[in-house]
Amino acid sequence: MFINEDNDVAESTLQTFLEAWSENDYATAYDLLANASPLRQGLTREAWIIRHESWAEQAHPASLRFDIVIEEDEEEASPNNVIVLPNANTTNTNATQEAFEVFWSVEMADTPLSDTLKELPTTTIIYQEIGRHWFWSRFTLVEENAAWRIHNMVDEGKAAQQLSVEVLHQRMDELAASIKSLAEEFGIQDIAEEGKIEDIIQKVEEDQFSFEDLLGQVQEIGWITQRAMYYSDALIKKTPDDVQVYETAVAQATTMDEWERAAAYLELIIERFPDKRGPALRSLATALASLTGEYEEERAQHFVELVEKVLRASIEADHHTSSYTMLADLLIDQEERLSEAESLLKEAQQRATNPSEQAAIAYSFGKLAEVQDNMEEALTHFQRTIQLDERVPGAWTSLGNAQRALGQNKEAVQSYKRALETDPESLDAYVELALIYIEQNKVAEARKLLEDGLSLFPDEPELYAAFAIAEIQSNNLRNAEEYLDMAEEIDAEVELVQDARLLLNQVKAQRKALKPKGKGPTPNKPKHKR
């Protein structure tokens, strides 16, 4: 999309407005509205603020999330063909305008006062567990007194709900075709496929396209997918008995790692389609488990408990093997009720009907043995996992960890390499393999591996800590300090980060102890009188 300096300034104005609005700073929000903006609703500044504060006392808005899309041309200006007319009271009809499509959501309580806020669009879907509401808007901004101000908002979510079922399906098909075309252009249609990421990296290195272009295409695909989700919301309202519409929405949300939104759709499936209850509950447990890492401690713990509740309901619904395995994994991860976890795995073992299920159970038995510090048994289970199905996520890395714990570094290296071949985004494999290389004084190989890891995980403190250890091994203490500072800035509580800091301090202390002591400055001799 075409971006210029005006786009940037106007977008910044819109971003500030949304943030101020969600943080109850309604004075700032009002001041960012154009003088003739219908969003002011003809109210004085004080009256507008009071109305919004009254709403906020009941709605408690929090945790705003948004994605702003710069609109390219007039044809794309409104996805639902809704035209924004200039306000009749505007004094500058020739003012430069900018339009932005905004996908946004906020946690809030439902209240009748919501209908009194003209800038608050129609909710398209709600995740009831936390009260997150999703909206789709289009904002137009105008230049006023040499500054960008918000003129109007179009409720695109509401407009989508007014389209016919046939038109909604047509729009969905068009968006799917656009995604396919963009993906094929850059060869990212099957980015999860084995070897695909390496192919893309090679194309970048060969200058077939730039990494910035690739990121731009991925972002464009993300925007299109988000737009498609709002059409899915409209279809759910219009065709509530069509389960395929819900499943499509779940797939869209999962693709975007929008786990709260996926949970919202899955809860509707569980409520409205009894025959889909078991699978939907398992998928909901997966979505909720993915959310636990996104929340602060209190809410994260609530969701851990919710995952357990959902999995127990899933077992009751259809006694599927994977429900037993997933619940056992949850208990193992918590390192609690391990005897119950073992019983669940034995029950799953009796119900398993294919190698894939048996492999998942063997992997869980391996993790159980691992937390019980029985690495020989863990190794046996991980080896069996690979024999049954070498594609089990994390299996090669876990096998490498067990081998490394037992001093089988040669075998561990091969396992970590296989882990990166089957799953190039295996963080632990990058870290552990790099540490082995450092121990073997193969610092160059370790650096190359860690650079590859950082290209995928730029915010992972363990990778920076491992880089610091590599620099310590090469006696580059200044570089080590820089990498370690970056690691500690991200998370100083990570064990490897603390180990790296301890090692660096020890090496510094040793250097200081070995440094020859100087004689010190020569004291001034007293002057003698003659």
CA triple 464-466-469, angle to 5 deg: 115
User: What does the H/E/C string look like for 418-452?
Assistant: HHHHHCCCCHHHHHHHHHHHHHCCCHHHHHHHHHH
CA atoms within 13 A on the CB side of 470: 25
Give residue 155's Cα distance to chain centre. 27
Equal fold, 5-160 vs 424-512: no
What are the angstrom distances between the C-alpha of 421 and each of 143, 197, 254, 430?
A: 53, 10, 24, 11
Please, what's the b/e burial string for 362-397 (b: 16 or more CB within 10 A of its CB; e: otherwise)? Answer: bbbbbbbbbbeeebebbbbbbbbbbebbeebebbbb
Containing 265, the helix (H) or strand (E) segment is helix 259-272
**In sequence order, which ranges of 294-337 are alpha helices (DSSP H)?**
297-318, 321-334
Residue with tokens 């009254």: 54
Would you say the C-alpha torsion 11, 15, 18, 20 has a positive or negative sign? negative
Which candidate, 225, 80, 239, 244, places its Cα nearest to that of 167?
80
Residue 20 pLDDT? 96
Cβ contact 369:384 at 8 Å: no
CA 129, CA 157: separation in Å to the nearest integer? 22
What three-state secondary structure class fits 143? strand
Residue 530 pLDDT? 37
CA 113, CA 207: separation in Å to the nearest integer? 55
> Cα Rg for the chain, rounded, in angstroms?
29
CA 432, CA 416: separation in Å to the nearest integer? 8
As given in the structure block, the two tokens for residue 25 are 């700073």
Q: What is the pLDDT along the chain (530 residues), one digit of tens a residue?
A: 334 455 688 999 999 999 999 999 999 999 999 999 999 999 999 999 999 999 999 999 999 999 999 865 544 455 554 333 333 333 444 458 899 999 999 999 999 999 999 999 999 999 999 999 999 999 999 999 899 999 999 999 999 999 999 999 999 999 999 888 887 776 655 544 444 445 555 555 555 556 676 677 778 888 999 999 999 999 999 999 999 999 999 999 999 999 999 999 999 999 999 999 999 999 999 999 999 988 888 999 999 999 999 999 999 999 999 999 999 999 999 998 999 999 999 999 999 999 999 999 999 999 999 999 999 999 999 999 999 999 999 999 999 999 999 999 999 999 999 999 988 888 999 999 999 999 999 999 999 999 999 988 999 999 999 999 999 999 999 999 999 999 999 999 999 999 999 999 999 988 888 777 655 555 555 444 43
Cβ contact 233:125 at 8 Å: yes
Residue with tokens 């993300």: 222
Going from N- to C-terminal start, the domains of the chain cover: 5-160, 424-512
Residue 86 pLDDT? 37
As a CATH number, domain 5-160 is 3.10.450.100
Residue 337 pLDDT? 92
What three-state secondary structure class fits 74? helix
What are the angstrom distances between the C-alpha of 36 and each of 32, 147, 200, 302?
A: 12, 14, 50, 46
CA 265, CA 246: separation in Å to the nearest integer? 6
As given in the structure block, the two tokens for residue 86 are 């200039």
β-pair type (62-70, 97-107): antiparallel
Interacting residues of 453 by C-beta distance below 8 A, sequence separation 6+? 427, 430, 431, 434, 460, 463
As given in the structure block, the two tokens for residue 252 are 């869209």
CA triple 230-233-237, angle to 5 deg: 145
What three-state secondary structure class fits 66? strand
Interacting residues of 411 by C-beta distance below 8 A, sequence separation 6+? 400, 403
The length of the chain in residues reads 530
CA 412, CA 405: separation in Å to the nearest integer? 9
As given in the structure block, the two tokens for residue 508 are 């510094």
Q: Other C-beta atoms within 10 Å of 361: how many?
A: 28
Q: What is the CATH class of 424-512?
A: mainly alpha
CA 446, CA 421: separation in Å to the nearest integer? 17
CA 437, CA 521: separation in Å to the nearest integer? 46
- Residues 253-312 have pLDDT tens digits of 999 999 999 999 999 999 999 999 999 999 999 999 999 988 888 999 999 999 999 999
- Which one-letter amino acid corresponds to residue 103? F
Residue 33 pLDDT? 97
CA 458, CA 444: separation in Å to the nearest integer? 20
CA 199, CA 412: separation in Å to the nearest integer? 26
CA 327, CA 314: separation in Å to the nearest integer? 10
